[in-house]
Structure 1
Amino acid sequence: MTGPVVVVTGGTRGIGQGLVRAFTEAGASVAFCGRSDASVQGAGAPGGALGVVADVTNRNDVRKLWDAVADRFGRVDIWVNNAGLSTSRRKLWELDPAEIDAVVDVNLRGTLQASAVVLEAMLAQGHGALWNMEGLGSNGQIVAGLTPYGATKRGLTYATKAMAKELAGTPVTVGLLSPGMVVTDLLTRDYSPEELEQARKIFNILADRVETVTPWLAAKVLAGVKNGGRVAWLTNRKAAYRFATAAFRRRDLFAGT
């Protein structure tokens, strides 16, 4: 084993699944987790990747995941906190309380609990890089119908910057990973057919497929950034360029779906 050892939480679908494949193709030794044996077994992970059943909101599960990776590969060099949920696209008072709790638990509480375990272990081993996944709301953007999700991502950005201050002067770093708008079930859920038809016009300008974004993100993560750094696929400049050239660039990200 010569490549880095990378862990991706929530690596059984969507962006997480894409990252597992991209890191593997880049020569890394990769581990991932899902919340059930069925999701881990059905992830279609590349050969050599280690799948572990773990709930990121449970510190014991996170420690179990860390230990399983260390036992298999000898260490953990990079950890990506990717696991995340979104509520239904509804007003806050229309949401089931359990749905709100689940999103806050995984996106914010789970990332904080997992980060606490991982950072302590990385400091003990003398090196490591932790990455937290941004999302809608991280930059202060407000979207009606996604209040709990946006609030957790806004809080996560603060938490990551605070972790960076706490890690200053150590051999461990923390960074923010921003995939932008990616075509997954989280992006397109809960639209009526008419609403989705309108939303697709924006998606076809700003969004990208998982297989486009994740190899670029993986390469940036493997290259590393300074403590507290941020890697973003969809920058403001790129978004402005896409809107300016939309009339000349015909994209259909949903062809065949």
Structure 2
Amino acid sequence: MTARRILRLTGNDTEDFLQGLITNDIKRASEGLLYAAILTPQGKFLADFFVTQDGDGFLMDVSETIADGLIKRLTMYKLRADVQIADSGLSLQRGTGPAPDGGLTDPRHPDMGWRAYTDGAASDDDTDWDAIRITHCIPETNIELTPDSYILENQFEALNGVDFRKGCYVGQEVTARMKHKTELRKGLRRVAVEGNAPVGTDITVNGKTIGALFTQAGGYGLAYLRFDRVQDEMQAGDAIVRPL
């Protein structure tokens, strides 16, 4: 299981602070688990995470690989706001069987099971998470989701990770324009894969790069593709890639 860090955000200004930053409506975090991201002013991906209300504060569940950068970004934005950011000391447990007390449904898709935050050790069941992610076209931090990503090209609307009615947040203008005024020409798609290729291998047609192949499991994969150049058979290193 990819290591996660569980942050706790507290202070009188925390809800308003998060509402002006994240892609989703923080008020819904009182109902369960919320999936969201923070973007650059240019609308590009910085970090994705889960948020839930925890007493008078919020828990933020983020990949360990980007946690320090996220804390730095949040600290930069908060200025003099009454917001405190600290490690909670909690660990993530997750699975796809019956949820334990305190387990929260993963908002991206029901097949992604539940997540719980406890004082015990981090734990996971034997679920093939990559296979589920591929089936439902769910990107992962630092694999499909990179600093060059746009969230709408990475299925955030389908994954309940963006709210177009909540009002302004950093990067909102670009995201709204992509939603309402343009047709996406590139994005993440599920593909069939014959063979194997390293994550990030270029996908080519007649020697020209049209995308990249990422997570693979059980003969399928996630690929970032230019839609107008997709062919019935494409190459990714030694692997053959076909659209679904």
TM-score normalized with structure 1 length: 0.25
Instruction: Compare the two structures and name the one with the higher strand fraction.
Output: 2
TM normalised by structure 2 equals: 0.26
Structure with a larger share of its residues in helix: 1
